[in-house]
Every structure is written in C-alpha cells, then in structure tokens.
A and B are shown apart, each in its own frame.
Chain A
Amino acid sequence: MTDTATATPTPTRWKPPSMIERPAVRYALWAVAAAYLVWSMGALEVDWGRVAQGFPRAGNMVARMFPPDFSRWDLLVRGVVESVEMAFAASFIGMVLAVPLGLCAAGNIMPRPVYLVARTLIVLSRTFHEVILAILFVKIVGFGPLAGLLTLVVASVSFISKMIAEDIENMNMGQVEAVRATGASFAKVLVYAIQPQVLPRYLGVCIYRLDANIRHSTVVGIVGAGGIGMTLSATFKRYDYDFSMAILLTIIGLVFIGEFFSNWVRGKLR
C-alpha cells in the first residue's frame, strides 16, 4: 500500500467526475439530444424566406411603435377597465365557488367518490389553457365579456380549490381530532379546526389569483371574450403599431401594479 502510493507519481491531470458516470450512457444521451434537435427543427414547417425578412420587419415595426400613440385613450381606458372588472368579478366568484369544490377535493375529510369527482373536475379545467376555455365559452354565450368572465371564473375556481384541497390534506390532523373529540359535528369541525388552519393561505391564494386574473384578462379578448385583448389584436390586424405599443405599455403597467398590490396584501396577511 505504502509502496504503491509513493511509487505512483502525483497525477498532473484531473477531470471533475461527471454527473452520469458511464461514458456510454453519457454519449448516448448527447446523441439523443442532438437527434431530437435535428428532427424537431427539420419537422417544423418554417418558411425561411419569410423568416429572413423578419429582421428588417422587426426594425420597421419597432420604428413604427415609437412614439406610442396614446391619443385614443378613451378606447384604451374602456378596454383596460373591462379587463380589470372581469378580473375582479371572476376572482370574487371564483373564491366563493372554490370553497365547496376545495373541500370536496380534500381526500382526508371526504368520502372517496366525492373526492374523485372533485379532483377530476379540477384536473380537467386546469389542463386547458385559458384561451381554449375562452373560445369554447364564446361559442356557448357569444362574443363579449361574459365569455371572458366565465373563463376566468373556471380558471380561478380550479386553481383556488386545488390549493385549498392541498392545504387541507397537509394540515395538522391532531387539531381536527381534538375538536372532533369534543363531540363536534362536521360543520363545527370545519369552523373550529379546519378554517383557522387554512384561512390565511386561502386569502393569500385568492389575492394571488386576482393578480393572475388581471394578466389573463388581457388575452382572452384575442378570441373575442372581452377586455383590452380585443382592442390589442385589432391594432395588430391594422398594422396600427403605435397604438399597439401604447396598449402593451399599459398592460405592463397594469400587471406591475397588480403584482405590487398582490405582494403588498400578502405581506400584510403574513
């Protein structure tokens, strides 16, 4: 042992150990990644001629975006107000409807069938992008803010109820048992043991959702479901880029305020 250690000269090369130890596996992974890149880029139907025009076009577009045109502010304000109203109303309806659904989706307090139905509803509505929901609602109730409102309500309910369900499943069961042990009914357990544990986070989640709804309310209009998005997509169709820029800047400002407000309230709640 001593002999070999002193006999071998100190190495002058060192390589850090690789995350994947077997070289074969490592190279195979690289090969797969490279193959995927080649395949995916080849599979995309890209009109390279059109893309090549993109760079001068982008310059042209940016040039036409400045200065942003705020002169049609009445149109802008109307769209923004509609978006914000959809967001407020949807958040409120969502936070109310989410409570029963959230309770039903909590596996530790609900019977299995109820739980499964509630979870399926949540998963179904969460999987589809808001814009898909919006276009389905447009087909059902027609163009306008009602479709947008319904979209945001569905999105809010599924989001908030999922959070409620997870909170209830992670809460301290000891407290629930203690209250149950006093002979309390299910409703009393709900009020005395469950509500105090999940309420603060529930309020936080609702405020967060308000913020998210403000963001989403700006896009549902693109498929005709009301709000500023309708105005925005119209400006793009008319190459009215200076007005687009004005709308985009307003959206950025709006979302910034929404996020600031949401952080501020959640800070207070803590």
Chain B
Amino acid sequence: MTPADHAARYPEVWRKFSPRQTVVRYIWFAGIVFVAAWSLRHLEIPWEYFLDAHEQVADLVVRMYPPAWDHFGQILDPLLETIHIATLGTIVTFGISLPIAIISARNTTPNVVTWFIGRFILVASRSINTVVWALIFVAIFGPGPMAGIWAVAFRSIGFMGKLIAEAIEEVDAGAVEAIEATGASRLQVLMIGVLPQVLPVIYGTTVYRWDINIRESTVLGFVGAGGIGIQLYSSINQFQWDEVSVMLLSVFGVVVVSEWISATVREKIT
C-alpha cells in the first residue's frame, strides 16, 4: 500500500456531513435567521419602550401585591359563569361534532360534495379563534354568556370533528364490511359498525376539549361574551391591579384544577 492509498483509505479528517450537505444546512440556518430578523425589523418596534419595561413590570408587581382578597366575593359568580360557558359549549359540540366528523371521514361520507363541506367546516372552525367567534356571536346574540357558549362550541367543532374523523378513518374496515353484509342500512352500519369503535376517542377528546375550553372562556369577556374576562378587562383598564391579581390567581387555580380533572378522567376511560 502506497502512502497515497493509505491516506485515501484512512483519511485524517472525518466529517459527519459532506461539503454539499454542510452548505445546504448553513443555507437553511441563514434563511431562518434572515426571515426572523427581517420580520423583526419590518415590525418597526419602538424599542425605546422596551427600555423601561423592567420598571413597568416591577411597578405592576408591586401594585398587584397584596391581592385584594375581599374582592373575591364579587368574582365568584363570573368565575362560575366561565366554567358554565366552557361546559355548556362543550356539550353543544359533543352533539354537533359527530355528524360533521362522519361526513368529513373519507370512508363514511356520502359523496365528494359532503366530504368537501365537512372538511371546510372543520378548517373554518379551527382557523377562527374562539375570541373571534365570540366577536361574531356578540354581534348576533348581544353581549353575554350565550355568545360565549356558541363561540366555544363553534371553535371546538373543528378540533373534535377532526380528531373523530381521523379515528373513523382508522376503524377496522372488516367489522364494518361484516355489518354491511348482514343487510344493515347505512345508518345502522354507522351505529353498530363504526360508532362503538370510535366512542373512546369521542369521550377522550370531549374531556380534553373541555379543559381547553375552560382556559379559552377566561378571555371571552374581553369582547363581551361573558365570564370572568369582563371584570378582568375592566379592572385592568382601571388600573385596579390588586383586584387583577386576585382574578389571575383564581383563573390559575381553576385552570390547574380543570387540567387535573381532565387528565384523571381521560386516564380512567382509556
């Protein structure tokens, strides 16, 4: 073996990536950094506001302490209303999302048109944030929890419908075929062949969504759709920071407890 052969066979430099790969990787890095930097510049942020931000924060914290706990009596009702909005909204969704999931799943939709409609409903429902849905329903039903319930329901349809439709597309097709072979009607096939297979997913996503909805309904009041958000918004705007801190702590408690309940229930049913 000549030294040249030896060098070729046992190179002294080892690289994980070939030069080409390396270049491609750096181009990706540079591209990401460039897009982020450009976005940031283009936002034309007045950074001088940022300079005294720490003072503002410190000021806020000082004013928030001590929390005005005597205020708690007044926020109990709105807090309960927040929970009711989430729960009732989730119940409404529980009823609506199954039919929409059925027409959105490729294996159960009656035809291409219904599939397309179903998919559009899912995408539209998920793209529009709960708060934006609340804006719409406040315009329809006027301010109050009614608008909140429908906002929560309309946003959740997309979430639950999508997950249920995915579950329907994954059902055991053999069992469905067997039910079809008995001469069952379309509705019966759905009920006996498909539904039992996706029921655990339906229960699981409902409970999961409920817990998300609790968090969502804490801000519905900002646009007038009921719940604790109304008081929170007005206290913030009146700089009643000691009241704000009571509300934030209560919201924190409710969200943490609901998350725990949801996790426990889901563990039980699966």
Residues of A within 8 A of B (CB): 36, 40-41, 43-47, 50-51, 53-54, 57-58, 61, 81-82, 84-86, 88-89, 91-93, 123-124, 127-129, 131-132, 135-136, 139-142, 144-146, 149, 215-216, 218-219, 222-223, 226, 229, 232-233, 236, 239, 241, 248, 251-252, 254-256
Q: Are B45 and A236 in contact (CB under 8 A)?
A: no
B215 CB–A CB distance under 8 Å: yes
Q: Which residues in window 177-199 of B have CB below 8 A to A?
A: none
B13 CB–A CB distance under 8 Å: no
B20 CB–A CB distance under 8 Å: no
A40-B88, A85-B40, A146-B46 as given contacts; A140 in contact with B57, CB under 8 Å: yes
CA gap between A140 and B88 in the complex, in Å: 35
A86-B43, A222-B223, A251-B128 as given contacts; A129 in contact with B218, CB under 8 Å: yes
Apart from A53-B142, A140-B53: 10 A-B pairs, beta carbons within 8 A: A44-B84, A44-B88, A51-B142, A54-B146, A88-B39, A89-B43, A146-B49, A229-B132, A254-B127, A255-B123
Q: Are B255 and A127 in contact (CB under 8 A)?
A: yes
20 CB-based A-B contacts, threshold 8 Å: A43-B84, A45-B145, A57-B141, A82-B43, A85-B39, A92-B33, A131-B219, A132-B248, A135-B236, A141-B53, A145-B43, A145-B44, A149-B40, A215-B127, A219-B132, A233-B223, A241-B139, A252-B123, A255-B127, A256-B123
Q: Which residues of A contact B141 (CB under 8 A)?
A: 50-51, 54, 57
Q: Are A236 and B135 in contact (CB under 8 A)?
A: yes
B62 CB–A CB distance under 8 Å: no
* Mask of B133-144 contacts with A, CB within 8 angstroms, 1/0: 001101111101
Which chain A residue has the least Cβ–Cβ distance from B33?
A92
Q: Report the minimal beta-carbon distance from A42 to chain B, rounded to whole angstroms.
A: 10
Q: Are B84 and A46 in contact (CB under 8 A)?
A: no
CA gap between A222 and B252 in the complex, in Å: 22
Which chain A residue has the least Cβ–Cβ distance from B36?
A92
How many chain B residues have a CB neighbour from A under 8 Å?
Answer: 57
CA gap between A46 and B44 in the complex, in Å: 44
CA gap between A233 and B256 in the complex, in Å: 30
CA gap between A232 and B124 in the complex, in Å: 16
Q: Report the minimal beta-carbon distance from B215 to chain A, rounded to whole angstroms.
A: 5
CA gap between A36 and B84 in the complex, in Å: 9
Q: Which residues of A contact B88 (CB under 8 A)?
A: 40-41, 44
B251 CB–A CB distance under 8 Å: yes
Majority SS of interface residues in chain A? Answer: helix
CA gap between A85 and B233 in the complex, in Å: 27
Q: Are B36 and A45 in contact (CB under 8 A)?
A: no
Q: Are B46 and A144 in contact (CB under 8 A)?
A: yes
Of A129, A149, A252, which is within 8 A of B43 by CB? A149
B201 CB–A CB distance under 8 Å: no
* Mask of B64-102 contacts with A, CB within 8 angstroms, 1/0: 000000000000010011001101100000000000000
* Mask of B206-223 contacts with A, CB within 8 angstroms, 1/0: 000000000110110011
Q: Which residues of A contact B33 (CB under 8 A)?
A: 92
Residues of B within 8 A of A (CB): 32-33, 35-36, 39-40, 42-46, 49-50, 53, 56-57, 60, 77, 80-81, 84-85, 87-88, 123-124, 126-129, 131-132, 135-136, 138-142, 144-146, 215-216, 218-219, 222-223, 226, 232-233, 236, 248, 251-252, 255-256
Majority SS of interface residues in chain B? Answer: helix
Which chain B residue has the least Cβ–Cβ distance from A85?
B39
CA gap between A233 and B225 in the complex, in Å: 14
Q: Which residues of A contact B145 (CB under 8 A)?
A: 44-46
Q: Which residues of A contact B36 (CB under 8 A)?
A: 88-89, 91-93
Q: Are A248 and B128 in contact (CB under 8 A)?
A: yes
Q: Are B87 and A40 in contact (CB under 8 A)?
A: yes
Q: Are B128 and A44 in contact (CB under 8 A)?
A: no
Pairs A-B, 10 closest by C-beta atoms: A92-B36, A255-B127, A85-B39, A50-B142, A40-B84, A131-B219, A54-B141, A88-B39, A252-B127, A89-B39
Q: Are B42 and A57 in contact (CB under 8 A)?
A: no
Q: Are A46 and B236 in contact (CB under 8 A)?
A: no
A46-B146, A140-B57, A233-B223 as given contacts; A57 in contact with B43, CB under 8 Å: no
CA gap between A233 and B46 in the complex, in Å: 24
CA gap between A47 and B145 in the complex, in Å: 9
Which chain B residue has the least Cβ–Cβ distance from A65?
B136
Q: Which residues of B contact A251 (CB under 8 A)?
A: 127-128, 132
Q: Report the minimal beta-carbon distance from B43 to chain A, rounded to whole angstroms.
A: 5
Q: Which residues of B contact A46 (CB under 8 A)?
A: 144-146
